[in-house]
Structure 1
Amino acid sequence: MAERRDAVVGWLSDELNAPSGPRTRAYVDHAKAASEWRNHALFAFDLGMVYRGAASGQASGPGQPETLGRLRARCVRLLGTLLEDDGSWTSCRPNSPAVALPERWSTMPGPHLLKVAGGVLALGGPEDDPALADAARATLRRHAPSLDRQLPNMSHPALYALEGLLQADLAGHHAYQRELLASYRVLSGHLTAGTLGEYAARPDSRSRSDVLAQLLRAGCVLASRDALDPEQRAQLPAMAAVLARRVRPTGGMPFESGDDRAPENTWCAMFTHQALAFHERIATGLEIPARWIRLLV
């Protein structure tokens, strides 16, 4: 496992040092990678993910701790190129003026960037440029107020916003508890038989494993703070049961329900592992350690 971890650190270092920054999607088929529109822009969310990993990771191979430090510093520098006029992060920047990006939640400034902000505030350290925390706080000020009234219509980015507020709260930013609880109430209100659709308000929407795991993680953290009402708390075991049923004999997770032949999805497995671990703590009356919340993937 350590050897694989260190290999990932090296690969990420190469990606971040590329002239245009890291690719969002890497393919074995290089032609497909070149035609992928996401690979023609620099995304704040991607940099936030790498930053969180670098800030919380441990690398043991020869020269790896230094590589991890340089990786973190490179993320900080690149994030500094993605600022709006108000000091908050924009969603992305095309690699050239000729690149035309589609209008999607991932390409437009929005509440999903709260997860970048929360991760920076929860994991930032004195070695970082102070401008990084300034940008995180500006992003909180821009997107956290009235979050429940401007949630994205897709559950996935909406839950990223909640995760960001949970992590920001650990760093002492407690001003947005109303928005956090109200937003969770909106999303959990769309649960049906322990599942949540990709589009929360559409009953016919597919049920993604990562989305359900995200909601369960958030719900467990709030339950550990005695912030859920009895009906909301009763939803947690049903969500956990649905996720547990999807775990394959290999330990892998499908991206969504309804297709037993679909490939296993790595990030769905990571989200689900955390969600079921969180729920086990709640079910046995144990607190969820703050360190676990800081390390939300």
Structure 2
Amino acid sequence: MTTASLSGPELTAAADRLRSWLLSGAVQCDSGVHAGGVFGAFDADGTARYVYPEITGYYLHWLADVARDQAAERPLLARAAQAAADWTTRQFENGAVPATRAYVNGETESDWRNDAVFFFDLAMLLRGLCAATETGLITLPRNAVERVLAELARLVDETGEIRAARRLTPDARLPVRWSTVGGPFEVKASSRVTLAARHITVPPLLAQACTALAQRYAAVAAQVPLEMLHPTLYFAEGILVADPTSIDGVRILLQRLLALQNADGSLPEAEDSTVPRSDIIAQALRIALLTREGAPTPAMASLARALVQRIAPSGVLTFRPDAPQPQPNVWCAMFAEQALRWQAGRLAGHATPAAEWLV
């Protein structure tokens, strides 16, 4: 395995490239009804087809984290955050529910994701709005936040369980995927809802459901199935916020996951897969930083190097570098920028931010 460590300046330079692309205006719709919404990914030719709530929430959250240590960029961060908050407000006007994928180029393509509302997506949007408020980038858009909370509350069933999705029509057919059936990954979402109580009253049944979900999984954090690594890491990101005492279990979970690390430092999509997703590398590095004190380990150094090697000079990071037509990916870039910036900070002797700042 590649274990040579990148220096702090090398990590910072890589994070700077990612951040420059993310703040260049390329990832945020700049006109039309979806101005301010954030794209998730681009086609190989650079075309963005849709914006959506989850990634707009991530972007608001990421902007807030950057604002905490990049004071010189604050005016730009505030403009981007306000545009995203304004987009969010418009999506909920007149009782509407935002499309999971809102196409921006006049497409009317059928997409099963738009047949439902997802707890995870709305929770990420909620956290983004609250995080941007906490760092002073925006004023809390109270009406929009109340609408988000109302929709989240509708996803708590009569038994007090959080449902992953609510069908918008009785005949909507959702495929069986981790994002539609629920599971430990929803702890990330529920922990973000709980954080919103700092700013606004969370409906009691929703608050209780979020607390109960975290309690159910905290004691078994070390044994959570790996399966798809992306949602498993979402669980780790959430339980560190919801129940910090679970950190020892998360350390064990991370070691199980790192046992799958490839010779180049990368990680597969799943235990039985060889798909080399960039977001998973960044997620694992962030969890490693949050669960280990002191200098980065060789495994962490390998994760960082694997990420840096995938970043183009333009700052673009693709979802899968092995794809015939690699797609520049916005959430991969945000996760990676945060991971590399935090690791550079660790090498400089700075404490890693609290888990609640994980995008």
Deviation (angstroms), 1:76: 1.3
- The 2-side partners of 1:52 and 1:126 are apart by 11
Greater relative CO (CA pairs within 8 A, separation 6+)? 2
Q: What CA deviation, in whole Å up to 9, does each residue of 1:36-62 have, x standing for no partner?
A: 10011010000111011111114989x
User: What count of residue pairs does the alignment treat as equivalent?
Assistant: 280
Corresponding residue for 2:252?
182
- The 2-side partners of 1:179 and 1:88 are apart by 24
Deviation (angstroms), 1:205: 1.4
Deviation (angstroms), 1:19: 4.9
Deviation (angstroms), 1:104: 0.5
Say whether 1:49 aligns with 2:124.
Answer: yes
Corresponding residue for 1:37?
112
- The 2-side partners of 1:120 and 1:234 are apart by 35
**Identical aligned residues as a percent:** 30
Consecutive unaligned residues in structure 1, runs of 5 or more: none
CA RMSD in angstroms comes to 2.5
SS at match of 2:139: helix
Shift of the 13–126 alpha-carbon distance from structure 1 to 2, 3 Å rule, reads: closer
Say whether 1:287 aligns with 2:287.
Answer: no
Q: What CA deviation, in whole Å up to 9, does each residue of 1:8-39 have, x standing for no partner?
A: 21212222347562222122244445x11001
- The 2-side partners of 1:296 and 1:55 are apart by 13
Q: 1:149 aligns with which of 210, 223, 226?
A: 223
Say whether 1:6 aligns with 2:70.
Answer: no
SS at match of 1:93: strand
- The 1-side partners of 2:277 and 2:117 are apart by 26
Consecutive unaligned residues in structure 2, runs of 5 or more: 1-75
- The 2-side partners of 1:38 and 1:93 are apart by 11
Corresponding residue for 1:92?
165
Which range moved further: 109-118 or 7-16?
7-16
Corresponding residue for 1:26?
102
TM-score, L = length of structure 1: 0.85
- The 2-side partners of 1:147 and 1:27 are apart by 38
Corresponding residue for 1:103?
176
CA contact (8 A) 2:187 2:235 kept: yes
CA contact (8 A) 1:20 1:42 kept: no
- The 2-side partners of 1:219 and 1:21 are apart by 36
Shift of the 91–54 alpha-carbon distance from structure 1 to 2, 3 Å rule, reads: same
Deviation (angstroms), 1:283: 2.5
Say whether 1:268 aligns with 2:357.
Answer: no
After TM superposition, list the pairs within 5 Å mapping 1:149-228 onto structure 2. 149-168=223-242, 173-193=243-263, 194-199=265-270, 201-202=271-272, 204-224=273-293
Which range moved further: 132-141 or 274-283?
132-141
TM-score, L = length of structure 2: 0.71
Shift of the 13–77 alpha-carbon distance from structure 1 to 2, 3 Å rule, reads: same
Shift of the 151–18 alpha-carbon distance from structure 1 to 2, 3 Å rule, reads: farther
Corresponding residue for 2:208?
134
- The 1-side partners of 2:136 and 2:235 are apart by 33
Deviation (angstroms), 1:242: 0.9
Which range moved further: 208-217 or 275-284?
275-284
